[in-house]
Amino acid sequence: MLEADIQLRLGKFSLDAAFSAASGEVVALLGPNGSGKSTILRALTGLLPLAGGRVVLDGTVLDDPAQRTRVAPEKRPIALMFQDYLLFPHLSVLENVAFGLRARGTDKKAARQKAAEALAQVGLEDQGAKKPGSMSGGQQQRVAMARALVTDPRLLLLDEPLAALDVSTKTDVRRLLRATLRQSHAANILVTHDLLDAVALGDRMIVIENGGIVQTGTPAEVTARPRSRYVADLTGVNLLRGTARGTAVDLDGGGQLTSADPVTGPVFAVIAPAEVAVHRQRPDGTAGNLWRGTVSEVDLMGDRVRVRVDGTPTITAEVPPSAVDDLKLDDGGELWASVSPAAITVYPP
Amino acid sequence: MDDRPRQPFNPLLACLAALAALFFFFPLLGLVTGAPWGRMVSVITSKSSLDALQISLIASLSSTALALLFGFPLAWMLARGQFRGKGLLRGLTTLPMVLPPVVGGIALLLAYGRRGIVGEPLHKATGLSLPFTLAGVIVAESFVAMPFFVITAESGLRSMNRRLEDAARSLGASRWTVFRRVTLPLIWPALVAGIVLTWARALGEFGATITFAGNLPGVTQTMPLAIYISQSSNKMDEAIALSLILVLVSLVVMIFRRERSGSD
C-alpha cells in the first residue's frame, strides 16, 4: 500500500499531488508532457527530494521532510521500468537481471539462479548470455521487466514502458505486462500519455495536468466523464462547460443546449462526435439542438471523417466518408449541426 | 551497416590521400634504413642509453599515475560539479595542451623552482627542491600531459547516460556500487584512451623537461633529451637507434590498445 502526498518545486514548476495505490493495484498516471508525471516517479524513487508532504509504503515512512526522514533511493523496496529500458549495455542480459539482487547482497550463484528464472518468466530463457544492445526493443523491455520484478519490489514504477515500442510489439509486451501486473503483490504506478495503456493496464486512473491531479476514477469513469480538455481530446469527445437550469445548459463559450436529464448548477456536457449530425440545409422538423456554423477542419480518422464546425458552440462531428462528397465538405462554408438531447451527457464538475 | 552505395573512385582524392600516406611513411622508412643495425645492440645497451630509457619509463609512468590520481577527480568535478568558474577552471587545466612546452617549463620554474612562488617556501621548510631532479622531470611531464587525461575522462563522463546510474540506484545499488559496476565500466574506454594519450605525451615530453629539470645524464636526461644531445653532438647513429626504440614502444602501445578496445 502506497500513500503519497508529493509537494515539490523545480524552478517555476510546482507539483502537488496526493494519491494512494493498494498492493496489487495498478494506478495509471495519465497526463500530457510536462504535467509532472515523471517528476512524481523520481520523487517516489527518492532521486528528487520532497519540499512537503510524505511518502509511506506498507507503513514505512520513505519521505517526510517535516520529520527530516528520507530513505536513500537504494534502500527503498522500489523497482522502475523505463521507456528507454536503461539496461546496462556492458553487462549481459542475465547480469542485468541479477544486478538488483547482487546490489542488495544476494550471493552470485543464487542471484544468477533467480535471474534465470525471471528471464524464463518473460519468455527469454535462452537469451541470458546476450548483450542487451543486440536485442529488439520488445525483448529489451522484457529484460527490463524481469530486472524490475526479480527483486520482488513493494512498489513498481513504470515510466511509459511501452512508448518506445512499435505497434505490433507494443501489443505483445502490453499483454505480458498485464498478466505480470495481475499477479503482482506490489503497488504499481504506471505513468503514460497513452490512453490505451492506461485503460488496458490500469485499475484506476489519475489524470495529472500542470503539476496537479484533475481527475481520478476507474478508466471507464474517466473516459465516460472527462473533466479536462486533455482527456476529452484523448477519447475524442466534445467536452463543453456550462451552467444547467433543468434541461437547459447555458454554455460558458456562448450558445445553449438542451439535454435530457435535468441538473442544476455548473456542469460538463459531453457529446460523442458520432452523435452529431451535419446538414447543408436547415433540416425540417428536427427536434432538439440545432445550430449553424462553418466548416473549419475535415480529417480522415480510420474509416470515419471528423468535421469541425466553428459556431456557438464549436463542435466536432463524425460522418461517413461518403458525406464528404454528398455534403461537399471540402468546400467549407456554412453547415447546420444537430444533436438530440438524449445524446448529451451532463454531469457536475 | 552502411547501406549507401560504394563511392565512385575519385582520382584527385586518391592522389592526395596517397601523398598524405607517403608523407607519414618516408620518415619511418628513413629511421629504419638509417639505423646502424650492426651496432644496434651495443648502442642500446650502453650505459647512457639504458639510463635515459630507465628515466623515461619511470618518469612517464609516474606522471601517468599522478594524472590518474589527481586528474580523475578534476575531470569528475568538471563533468559533474556545479560551481562558479567551472569554465575558467577547465581553461586553466587544459592550457598546457596548447602552451609551447618551453613556456610551460619557464612557468614551472617560477612556480616550483628554488626561487618560485611555491618552490621557495617549500625549499625553506623541507629542503626539497624540484629542478634538476627526477621528481622535477615527473612534475614537468605531468604538467604537460595530465590535461590529455582530464579532457578525455571528462568527455567520457559527460557522454555516458547518467540515467543508467539512476536505474542502478533504484535497483538497490549504493553510490559506490553504482560507480564500480556501472559508471567505471561505461567510461572505461575513455579512461584507457586518456591513459594512453597521457603516457605518450609524457614519454615524448622535451621542452618543459629540459627547461625545468635540466639535462643531467643519469638523473634527468630522458630519451628525447638523449636523442637531441646525440644528434647535436654528431652521434647520429645513437640518435637513430634511440629513436627507433621510442617508435617501437609507441607501436606496441598502439597495437595493445587496439587489441583491448576490440570492436570499437
Residue A337 to residue B125: CA distance in whole angstroms:
95
Angle, alpha carbons B186-B200-B38 (nearest 5°): 135
Tell me if chain A has a CB within 8 Å of the CB of B169: yes
What local confidence, expressed as pLDDT, does residue B102 receive? 94
Question: How large a percentage of chain A has pLDDT more than 70?
Answer: 99
- A73, A82, A90: residue with CB nearest B169: A73
Which residues in chain A touch residue B167, judged by CB atoms under 8 angstroms apart?
80, 82, 86, 88
C-alpha pair distances (Å), B146 with each of B71, B80, B197: 7, 19, 9
- Coil/strand/helix, residue B255: helix
pLDDT at B264 over 90: no
Using CA atoms in the order A183, A83, A170, A321, what is the torsion angle rounded to 10 degrees?
A: 130
For the residues B225-250, what does the mean pLDDT come to?
90
Please answer yes or no on whether A99 and B171 come within 8 Å at the CB atom. Answer: yes
What is the model's pLDDT at position A194? 87
What ipTM was estimated for this complex?
0.77
From chain B, the residues in CB contact with A100 under 8 A are 171-173
A254 band by pLDDT with thresholds 50, 70 and 90:
confident
pLDDT, one tens digit per residue, over A320-347 is 888 888 888 877 788 999 999 999 999 8
| Amino acid B41: pLDDT | 86
Give the integer Cα–Cα distance in Å for A290 and B131. Answer: 97
Label residue B262 by pLDDT band (50, 70, 90).
very low
pLDDT at A223 over 90: no
Question: What is residue B45's predicted lDDT score, i.e. its pLDDT?
Answer: 87
pLDDT tens-digit map of A296-329: 888 888 888 999 999 989 999 999 888 888 888 8
Interface of A with B (CB under 8 A): 45, 47, 73-76, 78-80, 82, 84, 86, 88-91, 99-100, 103-104, 147, 151
Q: Which residues of B touch A80 (CB under 8 A)?
A: 167, 170
Tell me, yes or no, if the pTM score tops 0.90: no
- Report the mean per-residue pLDDT for chain A: 91
Omega within 30 of 0 (cis) for the link into A89 = no
Q: Determine the residue of chain A that is closest to B177 in CA distance.
A: A103
Q: Chain A within 8 Å of B167 (Cβ-Cβ)?
A: yes
pLDDT of residue A87: 96
Q: Is B159 part of the contact surface with chain A (CB cutoff 8 Å)?
A: no
* For residues A222-237, average pLDDT: 88
Q: Are A131 and A96 in contact (CB under 8 A)?
A: no
Closest chain A residue to the Cα of B173, Cα to Cα: A103
Q: Which of B261 and A1 is assigned the larger pLDDT?
A: A1
Closest residue to A100, CB basis, from B161, B171, B174: B171
Mutate to test the interface with A, among B164, B166, B171, B192 (most CBs of A within 10 A): B171
Kindly determine whether residue B170 and residue A103, on different chains, have CB atoms separated by under 8 Å: no
pLDDT band at A168 (very low <50, low <70, confident <90, very high): confident
The Cα-based distances of B112 to B108, B140, B173, B245 in angstroms read: 6, 10, 44, 32
Of A47, A82, A103, the CB nearest to B172: A103
| pLDDT over threshold 50, residue A113 | yes
Q: In the sheet where A256-271 sits, what is the strand order?
A: A238-251, A256-271, A344-347
What mean pLDDT do residues A79-100 have?
Answer: 94
| B172 contacts A80? CB cut-off 8 A | no
Helices (H), A165-237: 167-183, 195-201, 219-224, 229-235
Q: Provide mean pLDDT across the span A234-247.
A: 90
Q: How high is the pLDDT of residue A21?
A: 95
Cβ atoms of A193 and A16 closer than 8 Å: no
Mean of the per-residue pLDDT values of chain B? 91
- Long-range contacts of the stretch B155-159 (C-beta < 8 A, 24+): B155/B190, B156/B187, B156/B189, B156/B190, B156/B191, B156/B194, B157/B75, B157/B76, B157/B79, B157/B80, B157/B183, B157/B187, B157/B190, B158/B79, B159/B190
| pLDDT tens digits, A3-61 | 999 999 988 899 999 999 999 999 999 999 889 998 999 999 998 999 999 999 999 99
The span from the CA of B89 to the CA of A210, in Å, is: 39
Which residues in chain B have Cβ-Cβ distances shorter than 8 Å to A75?
172
Chain A hits for B174, CB-CB cut-off 8 Å, are 74, 103
Average pLDDT over residues B214-225: 93
- Look at residue B241 and tell me whether its pLDDT is greater than 50: yes
pLDDT, position B263: 40
Q: Three-state SS for B32? A: helix
Residue of A nearest to B189 (CA): A90
- Which residue is closest to B166 within chain A, CA to CA? A47
Chain A CB within 8 Å of residue B261 CB: no
What is the radius of gyration, based on Cα positions, of chain B? 22
The mean pLDDT of B70-79, rounded to a whole number, is: 96
pLDDT in tens, B27-57: 999 999 988 888 888 888 888 889 999 999 9
Which residues of B fall within a CB distance of 8 Å from A88?
164, 167-168, 182
CA-to-CA distance for B144 and B224, rounded, in angstroms?
Answer: 15
Query: What band does B261 get if pLDDT is binned at 50, 70 and 90?
Result: low
Gap between the Cα atoms of B199 and B193, Å rounded: 10
Q: Is B184 on the interface with A (CB under 8 A)?
A: no
Which of A80, A90, A91 is opposite residue B170, by nearest beta carbon? A80
